[in-house]
Structure 1
Amino acid sequence: MSADRGAAAPAVPAVPAAPAAVAVPAAVAGARREPAYTVERLDRAQDLPRQVWDELAPADDPMWGRDVFTAMQGAEIGPDAYAYLLVREDGLPFAVLPLSAVHGLRLDRVVGPRERRLMAPVARALPRLVRVPMLFCGNFLGQGHVMGRGRLPAAVALLLVREVMDFARGHRLGTVVFKDFAPDDLDALRPGLDREGFFTVASLPDTELLLEQPDFESYLATLPAKPRRNARNKIRKFRRQEDLRMEVLDGFGHLVPEMMGLYRQVMDRADQTLDVLDEEFVRALSAGKGDGDGGEGGQGEGAGAEQRLVACFQGERLVGYLHCLFRGRGAVGARIGMDYALAHRARLYHNLHYAAIELAIARGCRHIRFAQTAYEPKREFGCELVEQTYALNHTGRLPRTILRLLLPPALEAARAQALAPRS
């Protein structure tokens, strides 16, 4: 989902640099010494050495590779400023919380269709009223986490949330969101969230397919009877299209312009658009640019999450793709693009996902995740819904009260609409 491209994003106000360290008091004399925690603010993901990043980041979530965050920093996908809160334990890196600032978030692009219709007259007449400055904590493009070495102590939760609110006030970002956090990850932050007055709302669930089969045929055999019949039928219909072929590509930078055209066809049909990827992001990520420690990265060892493009061609023309990332034993079908002129007759959506599932199984992945959209076909693939939560707050007391009244019903309605069965 992205900020409006029609107006330039306001400059980020200058604020004093964060103190190099904010200490948490040590234990009283005579007791066992507790660790001393400090926090500092980094401007770029590259400011944290790759080895440290990889030690702290979720081991099996490709959306938490450092190359994803460096690609975000050089692109225009919504946020206009980034920061990283680094917590040290006795001077050593212990946890990191990424921050993404959006100074002009379009509310009418993150609610459901009904709410968007109600807001349309206001958006046309007074567009400034539906744009809000917002600070996202976690991963703007993926599931929310605090990167770290195990569960957060209460002292770290208090320290981090306080620093988040200070950052929001300093940069005039009224609304603060811990985005798409799993319940356990959010519970670890509770001491800080409760102290600062955050409230929670269920967000759109993620979709995850557990992969315990040795090959794709075994995966199909584990599906219930009706989804299994539907899958085989869709695969047969695709194979009858003599002019179409599916390939898995290691390098695909030359296809980025075509990919973006197909991606826009999908986004034009999307109910909600918080983040909209641009060509610079896809090109930087596909090339591994800008993520080296002192130089440019590449596709080899140490270049971050591995990538493949599941690509469908009609002759030499790209007509569909699913961009897949891999990290540890996890895979993500990150973004999809399709030519809708032939998508239905070729059952293109399903077959791109089947090819990604087959690829993930062949690579030894234990799970693959897909986007927070199109829940009905993903249930048919065998995906489970992974519950996620927003924790929200505002730097002002009156706006916080209004948010508590208005935002939960709007987000719950959008969630119900997205999860509703469709023919």
Structure 2
Amino acid sequence: MHPLRTLFRTLLPLAGAALLAGCRPNPSVRLSGETVYAPKAATGYTILATDGASTVIEVRNPWQQEGDAATQLFVARNGECPPEGFAGQVVQAPIQSAVCFSATHVAYLDALGCTEIIRGVSGAEYLSNEPVREAFAAGRVRDIGYDANLNYELLAALQPDVVFIYGVGGEANTAVTDKLSELHIPYLYVGEYVEETPLGKAEWVIPFGELTDRRAESIVLFDGIAARYDTLRTRASRLAERPVVMINAPFRDVWFAPGDRSYMVRYLEDAAGDYAFKGTDDAGSRPISAEAAYLAAQTADVWLNPNMAYTMADLKAQNPKFADIRCVREGRVYNCTRRRTPGGGSDFWESGALRADLVLHDLILCLHPEAADSMRIEGLEAGLYYYEQLQ
């Protein structure tokens, strides 16, 4: 993981020349010491107040195992200038154009009714969002590539007000942020993927609300999701049974299992389930041998997310041994592929980051189908939304 000093070396003032020029005659605002928004569930950001209308989005540790890294984005309003000596990004609100490096960023903007500002995405063929897919087909949204194949020439031509990026740590981050600095394109790290709780992931919609001047709407949206989630969690906690659940499937004979502090295991706990692969106090995934996984699988009542298996035949074709696992014999295998795209994407990995209430509802139905009637709640579909039972 690259050191903190390397991170801050990349955090140069990145406002476009026009924004800076328009800001010069005006005095700099100062941080007031107050907080505009302190997240209830998310741990990776805070929105800070100034003595003017502008705000600062402070993002902390936007990738795994970083330590104490922090970045700041000054959200300028009324022509106000950032505080003297400010070394972060600068963007004018409300943003009029954006590029999204992750499908989850598209989902946050869509939930706020702002997909029209999206000019570029990474991996358009995998997107589920229909308005953005249509805009891509019409040429109004461009695919800027991903990882080492980012098209910086196209990115510069799009001239976005901001680029939403995610952190992976090390030199990969530095290469991207150095190039964005060179192009004078502001960016915001979105760290929802390192949050350890489902609602922590969902609450990242609020920085998007801040940048689009829809803060109040984003808070109402999140509060509704959180309220429904809490209602479902409370109802599930009253269920007598706690089925044992296995997750994922092996890749080249290695089974990557979520750690005990991961958001997926939190989902299982809140859906009144027990995790078959308990063993590490970690938020990331850990490799376990296929042999150890098969042994643990013998206790499983339900199998979730078996990679690219869409049918029982697909699953058994991956490995004939799977046919002997009890939950396979009993047909209790579910995958988050009900809303998949022709290109192989899944809306579970897109809007599911925001709609924690829908995901929890699905998981309760997968683990406790007999409790479906008691889980009905206003604002949620009666059946499965992201998941489907393999046939």
Considering fraction of residues, name the structure with more strand.
1
Relative contact order higher in (CA < 8 Å, ≥ 6 apart): 1
